[in-house]
Amino acid sequence: MSILDTSVSGMLANSNWLSNISQNVANANSTGYKTADTQFSALVDQSPDQPSAGAGVTATTTSLNSLQGQIASTSTTTNLAVQGAGFFVVEDASGNTFLTRNGTFVPDQSGNLVNAAGYYLMASDVQGGSSNTSVNSLSGLQKVNVEGAADSASPSTTANLVANLPSTATAIPAANLPSTNTNPMTYTDETTMVAYDDLGGAHTLDVFFANTGPNSWEMDVYDASTATPGGATPFSSGPLATQELTFDPTTGALSPSTGVTTPPNGSPILIPVPGGQTLSLDLSQTTQLATAFGVNSATINGNAPGSLNGLAINASGVLSFQYSNGSSQNAYVIPLANVPSPDNLTSVLGGAYQVSNTSGPLQVGNAGAAGLGTLDSSSLENSTVDLATELTSMVEAQSSYEANSKVFQTGSDILDILNNLKA
């Protein structure tokens, strides 16, 4: 009798529901877990030329993969969470690609970032230049490795000096100017800058300013290591750069010198750093006003070698290494992947998902691009399970199961009567 089949299907459906509920309650604290939702749909017995008869209920489980869980803060920099749509691209130990929202990534003993379920984070490597990944494909992605980053040094190539030279200075005779490298050297003012060569070694550059007449100055740059020990002059080699500077008498700003064509107003000045690159020193904001000599700002790029100090991951998924010398270098770009129908992804062990026939093709992109969410570092995505709802559902499922079992009981009682009619 169909009553038995229907009630059995009802009990089965409800026990499915209960098992989903218990799955949800068990995973109420799993990172990146998405609630398993149970949908009931009626079954219909369809024979040709016969009206449809009820055939029970079937329960289908959908994993609500597109729900956003709450973001909680942690203290581990490599813990990631996605805010919005998108999944991390991960690989298991045998090299198969999966998607997951579980961002509990920490470095393992070889430095690869692996989450609590044993999946390795994949990203494109941008160390030493641009990446070789292409859009919308998983080729070129590698495991993110945060160890063994080499000490980095970078040479100085640009510098900016904003200083004020006193307009009340007296001229120095031509025979004693710093460019003549005589002893003792006569100059009006002096400052130093530290430049770095190709290997990250620091070189102190002595910058001398000497007044040669009204509104007219000479600037000389010497390598301080070539100075006479115990004194400044004479240097064992000539100046690295010499430049005439002229200032406008009405504004005090740097103005073109007569007879000097390159550079047009004395700035920028090209200085060959010993053992390094050519340093382009920008003096365009230096002034000549009626106040004492002072340096307002002196910036120069480049740094000495430093050791790896830490990581930082920004909202676009760029993982950068931070060095003890204060510089940082971009190392990896962590992409996000999405499918047109995330709820249809196949769930696998450890909170990961696989692309299935019904989920649609994989689309890979950078975090923050159109349609994808952003990355949060030092954060984890909590499970979307609400215990209160699940408990309520549990009560509902239980009573529904009881009702179905009551119907089964009644059906079975009716059959009993039927069977006992013969006696």
Partner 1 sequence: MTLSSAYNIINSAFAVTGAQSATIARNITNASTPGYSREIANVVDNPYGGADVASITREANSALLDQVNSSTSESASQSAIAAGLATLAQTVSDSASSTSPSGATQNGASPSAMLANLQSALSTYEADPSNESVGEAVVSAAGDLTASLNSGAAAVQQVRSQADANMAASVATINSLLNQFTQVNATVVNGLHSGADISSAQDSEDSILTQLSQQVGISTTTNANGSVSIYTDSGVTLFQDIPQTLSFTPSPTLTAGVSGNPVTVDGIPITGASAPMAVQSGALAGLAQLRDTIAPEYQAQLDQISGGLVNAFAETDQTGGTAPALPGLFTFPGATGVPSTTQVTGLSSQIEVNPNVDPSQGGDVDLLQNGGISDPGSATYTYNTTGAAGYTGRIQQMVSAIGATQSFDPSAGLGASDSLSDYANNSVGWLQGQNQQATDAASYQSSVVTQATSALSNATGVNLDTEMTNMLNIENSYTTSAKLLTTVNDMFSALMNAA
Among 26, 42, 270, 292, the residue binding partner 1 under the rule CB under 8 A is: 292
Nearer to partner 1, 1 or 202 (CB): 202
What is the smallest separation between the CB atom of 155 and partner 1, expressed in angstroms? 14
What is the smallest separation between the CB atom of 391 and partner 1, expressed in angstroms? 5
Distance CA 95, CA 119 (A): 10
Write each residue from 303 to 322 as x if it is in contact with partner 1 (CB under 8 A), else as -, in one continuous string. -x----xx-x---------x
Task: Give yes or no for residue 192 binding partner 1 (CB under 8 A).
Answer: yes
Query: Is 294 within 8 Å of 166 (Cβ atoms)?
Result: no
Among 147, 151, 386, 413, the residue binding partner 1 under the rule CB under 8 A is: 386
Task: Give yes or no for residue 299 binding partner 1 (CB under 8 A).
Answer: yes
Task: Give yes or no for residue 197 binding partner 1 (CB under 8 A).
Answer: no
Task: Give yes or no for residue 391 binding partner 1 (CB under 8 A).
Answer: yes
Task: Give yes or no for residue 167 binding partner 1 (CB under 8 A).
Answer: no
Task: Give yes or no for residue 289 binding partner 1 (CB under 8 A).
Answer: no
Nearer to partner 1, 174 or 395 (CB): 395
Nearer to partner 1, 173 or 259 (CB): 173
Write each residue from 245 to 284 as x if it is in contact with partner 1 (CB under 8 A), else as -, in one continuous string. ----------------------------------------
Task: Give yes or no for residue 187 binding partner 1 (CB under 8 A).
Answer: yes
What is the smallest separation between the CB atom of 70 and partner 1, expressed in angstroms? 5
Among 41, 52, 73, 410, the residue binding partner 1 under the rule CB under 8 A is: 73
Distance CA 418, CA 423 (A): 10
Tokens at 285, concatenated: 């904001």
Which range binds partner 1 by CB under 8 A, 44-52, 124-132, 183-191, 356-364?
Answer: 183-191
Distance CA 176, CA 186 (A): 6
Binding positions for partner 1, rule: CB under 8 A: 28, 68, 70-73, 83, 163, 187-194, 202, 204, 206, 224, 227-228, 230-233, 292-299, 304, 309-310, 312, 322, 324-326, 328, 382, 385-389, 391-392, 394-395, 398
